[in-house]
Structure formats: structure tokens, C-alpha cells
């Protein structure tokens, strides 16, 4: 699915935030009415823009185990 956060997909930050979000949903701690990609992407961008993540770390791609 296309969204404005494609630069963050498959990064370490994306993977960790996505995992946490899925756990919160599964445990019924939160309910989303927005696609997960938009929530995770928005948080990634905000962390980067706030200077809480260095660019090279924020955009580091996850290495595939294949």
C-alpha cells in the first residue's frame, strides 16, 4: 500500500514501532481507525524531525535473514 512514509518502511525503527503497535492492538489496549502504516510512519517522521533519531539510524534498513 502506498503512503507518504515509504522511506521509513523496512527500517529498524519502523519494525520496532510496528511490532509494539500490533501488540497494543492485539491486547486491546488501543483501537485504530487509521491504517497502521500511517500511524507508524507519522511517529517515525516525528521522532526524526524532533531530532530524537539520527538520520542514519532512522533510515537504516533491516537486514533480511534470507
Per-residue pLDDT of the chain (66 residues; tens, 9 = 90+): 689 999 888 888 999 999 999 999 999 999 999 999 999 999 999 998 998 877 666 566 665 544
Cβ distance 58 to 16 under 8 Å? no
63 located within any domain: no
Q: Is residue 30 part of a domain?
A: yes
> Is the residue at 4 inside a domain?
no
| Burial of 8 per CB tally in 10 Å (0-12, 13-18, 19+) | buried
Residue 34 falls inside a structural domain: yes
Number of domains in the chain: 1
Residue 3 resides in a domain: no
Tell me if 7 is assigned to some domain.
Answer: no
What distance in Å separates the CA atoms of residue 17 and residue 65, rounded to the nearest whole number?
20
- pLDDT reported for residue 65: 46
Q: Choose among 52, 45, 25, 50: nearest CA to 36.
A: 25
Residues spanned by the domain of 20: 12-58
Residue 56: predicted pLDDT: 60
Amino acid at each position: 500500500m502506498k503512503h507518504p512514509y515509504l522511506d521509513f518502511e523496512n527500517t529498524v525503527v519502523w519494525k520496532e514501532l510496528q511490532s509494539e503497535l500490533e501488540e497494543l492492538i492485539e491486547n486491546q489496549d488501543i483501537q485504530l481507525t487509521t491504517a497502521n502504516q500511517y500511524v507508524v510512519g507519522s511517529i517515525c517522521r516525528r521522532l526524526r524531525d524532533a531530532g530524537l533519531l539520527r538520520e542514519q539510524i532512522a533510515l537504516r534498513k533491516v537486514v533480511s535473514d534470507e
